[in-house]
Structure 1
Amino acid sequence: MADKNFDGIKIRNLYKIFGRDAQAHVEAVKKGLTKTELNERFGHILGLKDINLDMPSGNIQVIMGLSGSGKSTLIRHINRLIDPTDGEVLVNGVDVVKMNENELREFRRHQTAMVFQKFALLPHRSVLDNTLFGLDVQGVSRSQSIDVAMRWIERVGLKGFEEKYPNQLSGGMQQRVGLARALSNDAPVLLMDEAYSALDPLIRMDMQTVLLDIQKEIKKTIVFITHDLDEALRLGDKIAILRDGEVIQRARARTSFCARRTITSRTSCGR
């Protein structure tokens, strides 16, 4: 269940520049240096520009946009798989950017879990052992962790497949294992990076339903990356649309017409 004291995620003035001397160009970007100019003059890539987002506890925050818009770059800042060039990433009031190596390790183990597009299952481990992986890393005893893992295996619809291996499962079933593994960690933040984009449409809809049903029960703070507008509108409590590394639209999912117009016409609605 969600922690009522969890303060959600707040991203403040976040910039990411890819290149050997990224820090030297932050101020120029802040003063108006464009993405194209940064690349042509200095050979650096502007990944994110002045991102400011509030992601409330217990909500599904969808980040969407076309390929290359910065979606995956943004989500990887939340667990600091990517270090920012400038800005803050506050998770439950603590700036992830300022964490030392040990603090970051503990944060990743206990505060966040991630579901990947390509499943990221360990091929030599069974469904049960893959689901247990995060708990093993946390040092939870097997007597306790097996009960937790079995609960989530059943909850995602894989009861009876505990001893199967990833190569014996369909894509949809493999993604259910990935979801069960993430949920077993009981982390307050669940990061889902294009988690369903590799699945066939009907399986994708089924997995969306599974996530929504589980979210009613657990109320995690979920950040869901997608390039699919229908998926965004179905899953998101809040939607942020990225283009060229900038947030061009924020909306609640019910304002679907505005979001649809923004992504299809390449013009922004009023915020």
Structure 2
Amino acid sequence: MASQSIEIRSLYKIFGPRGRDFVEAVTKGMSKTELNKEHGHVLGLKDINISIPGGSITVIMGLSGSGKSTLIRHINRLIDPTSGEVLYGGTDVCKMNEEELREFRRHKTAMVFQKFGLLPHRTVLQNTVYGLEIQGVPKSEREARADIWIKRVGLEGFSNHYPNQLSGGMQQRVGLARALTNDADILLMDEAYSALDPLIRVDMQTVLLDLQKELKKTVVFITHDLDEALRLGDKIAILRDGEVIQQGTAADIVLNPANDYIEAFVKEVNRGRVIRIDALMEPLSNPAGESSVRIPGSHNVEEGMRVMTENNVTQATVTGENGMPAGRVSLEGLVRCLVRTND
């Protein structure tokens, strides 16, 4: 069954004993600084409205204190909102009773943490089966399922090792295997790769992208790293001081920054590597006259330019996931994408 979307609507979080009393004031423009200085309350999230498509990766990005980790913890209700809704399959997670919430957390969500969250006294296998153990799945079944994912994340042969015998990257693979073994629809990843060395981090991003092509989970990935957000996100939402500043695809954000704050973020981005061909394609005006050179829409601009240059063409047909023609691109259009304007 296809993963369902998550709808976050009018979500507010004000930390303090009288948070609800100040929602209206914040709505009318009271700043985070004013709220804290005058009333001793902290604004965590302000009027968050995000649609998280099922079966894709949505990245929530922001600097420290932007509210991104607070937001992800509302999805499995580790934090209760001050007001607003978090809808999954039409059901408001914020209104679930204790039993419903327990079932939702056990069967619909899995979480991967920045600091791995492994139990030091358990082996790789024992850590990986932990969620199924809590669910009451028989030992033989849970170990068989865990073995599959331990191999899939590249840890074959390490099932009986303990966390302190593994590198940081290997420990994070265990965390990912544990989450996938639960077979939950929603995968919540809170700064999951931030503690890893750069090369290992890129490697883990590749592992996630490769698995996602097959699994089509609803992934919510938190990061403060723009390069990571642009590489992983089918959709990206950028937060600042508890508010969504801009949301959209990588191309939306890089090519059309909403304000000076976002523009400063994306200024040094290598557009050729983060913009997909399908974000720049035009309609096929004459299907009969389409180019024989085809480029998958998932290719980036650099890859598209290489293919066109090697084939000595200035036009190419863009294909969709099904391999069928979806549009066309020109070499001129790709070059234009790479040129920053100062308007």
TM-score, structure 2 normalization: 0.75
1:177 is matched with which residue? 174
Question: Structure 2 residue aligned with 1:236, among 211, 233, 237?
Answer: 233
CA contact (8 A) 2:188 2:220 kept: yes
Query: For 1:10, what is the secondary structure of its paired residue?
Result: strand
Question: Structure 2 residue aligned with 1:56, among 53, 58, 64?
Answer: 53
Letter in 1 for 2:5: G
Query: For 1:122, what is the secondary structure of its paired residue?
Result: coil
Deviation at residue 130 of structure 1 after TM alignment: 0.2
Letter in 1 for 2:139: R
Query: For 1:124, what is the secondary structure of its paired residue?
Result: coil
- Deviation per CA, 1:127-160: give whole Å up to 9, x if none: 0000000000111111111111000000000000
Question: Structure 1 residue aligned with 2:242, among 235, 239, 245?
Answer: 245
CA contact (8 A) 1:239 1:253 kept: yes
1:199 is matched with which residue? 196
CA contact (8 A) 1:128 1:150 kept: yes
**Is 1:33 aligned to 2:38, yes or no?**
no
2:313 is matched with which residue? none
Deviation at residue 264 of structure 1 after TM alignment: 5.5
Rounded Cα–Cα distance in structure 2 between residues aligned with 1:31 and 1:157: 51
CA contact (8 A) 1:7 1:93 kept: no
**Is 1:18 aligned to 2:10, yes or no?**
no
- Deviation per CA, 1:95-142: give whole Å up to 9, x if none: 000011111111100000000000000000000000000000111111
Q: 1:220 to 1:259 in 2, by over 3 A?
A: farther
- Deviation per CA, 1:136-190: give whole Å up to 9, x if none: 0111111111111000000000000000000000000000000000000000000
Q: Any gaps of 5 or more consecutive residues in structure 2? A: 267-343
CA contact (8 A) 1:251 1:259 kept: no
Rounded Cα–Cα distance in structure 2 between residues aligned with 1:16 and 1:238: 23
Rounded Cα–Cα distance in structure 1 between residues aligned with 2:184 and 2:256: 33
1:103-118 maps to which residues of 2 (within 5 A)? 103-118=100-115
1:134-213 maps to which residues of 2 (within 5 A)? 134-213=131-210
Deviation at residue 259 of structure 1 after TM alignment: 5.4
1:82 is matched with which residue? 79
- Deviation per CA, 1:225-270: give whole Å up to 9, x if none: 0000000000000000000000000111233344597445279xxx
Rounded Cα–Cα distance in structure 1 between residues aligned with 2:27 and 2:250: 30
CA contact (8 A) 2:155 2:173 kept: yes
1:7 is matched with which residue? 4
Question: Structure 2 residue aligned with 1:226, among 198, 223, 227?
Answer: 223
CA contact (8 A) 2:226 2:265 kept: no
**Is 1:217 aligned to 2:214, yes or no?**
yes
CA contact (8 A) 2:4 2:55 kept: no
Query: For 2:202, what is the secondary structure of its paired residue?
Result: helix
Rounded Cα–Cα distance in structure 1 between residues aligned with 2:232 and 2:198: 15
Rounded Cα–Cα distance in structure 1 between residues aligned with 2:133 and 2:262: 42
Aligned residues: percent identity? Answer: 71
Q: What RMSD in Å do the two structures reach over aligned CA positions?
A: 1.5
1:131 is matched with which residue? 128
Query: For 2:129, what is the secondary structure of its paired residue?
Result: helix
Rounded Cα–Cα distance in structure 2 between residues aligned with 1:264 and 1:167: 42
- By relative contact order (CA 8 Å, sep 6+), the higher-ranking structure is 1
Segments ≥4 residues shifted beyond 4 Å: 259-262
CA contact (8 A) 1:249 1:262 kept: no
**Is 1:65 aligned to 2:62, yes or no?**
yes
Letter in 2 for 1:81: L
Q: Any gaps of 5 or more consecutive residues in structure 1? A: none
Query: For 1:254, what is the secondary structure of its paired residue?
Result: helix
Rounded Cα–Cα distance in structure 2 between residues aligned with 1:27 and 1:120: 38
Letter in 2 for 1:236: G
Rounded Cα–Cα distance in structure 1 between residues aligned with 2:256 and 2:229: 13
**Is 1:122 aligned to 2:119, yes or no?**
yes
- Deviation per CA, 1:50-109: give whole Å up to 9, x if none: 000000100100000111000000000000000000000011221000011111111100
TM-score, structure 1 normalization: 0.94
Q: 1:166 to 1:258 in 2, by over 3 A?
A: farther
